[in-house]
Amino acid sequence: MKDALINIQNTFYDAGVRGNYTSEENLHLTLAFIGEYPDAESVMDSLAGVSFTPFTISLDGIGSYGDLWWAGISQSPVLDAVVRRIRRALAENGIPFDRKKFSPHITLLRKASVSSMPPVSTENVSAAVESISLMRSDRGKRGMIYTEAGALTAEEASE
């Protein structure tokens, strides 16, 4: 999936679109944005009871919120259920998070230099989700630096 996302970014760049492109290592799907919370261990303790089995996500179109351009992720009842469980666990444990409606997307570009998006098609690409990471973000000289602070691993479905 990352290769497909990079290809989309390259199409934008080759069409003359400038801005702050998300680096390959920073491409991600946010399930719950926690923000400035200093205790990763408490967050992971809160999420310890959240279980899920492996599932698949798929790219579904390109869109924008003003000058922020993104790749959409197909609606998925399984993904939605995992997000609800994560958010419920955070709320029950007093961990603050952004409660905006979940809109699955991966940010490709910020501060796009043009207002109209060049034609680009999303490839029919899917990815298996076998773990979910808690990411710490720090502002670096060249943008955000993401570091994994913990992870939930999918449980194999029992036969």
98 in active site? no
Contact between 32 and 38 under an 8 Å Cβ cutoff? The reply is: no
Q: Which of 2, 18, 28, 84 is catalytic?
A: 28
- 128 DSSP β-pair partners: 56
Q: If you ran DSSP here, which 8-state letter would residue 24 be given?
A: G
Q: How far is CA 158 from CA 7, 66, 131, in A?
A: 37, 45, 17
- Could you tell me the two tokens for 54? 């492996």
28 in active site? yes
Q: Which of 105, 112, 129, 134 is catalytic?
A: 105
Active site residues: 28, 105
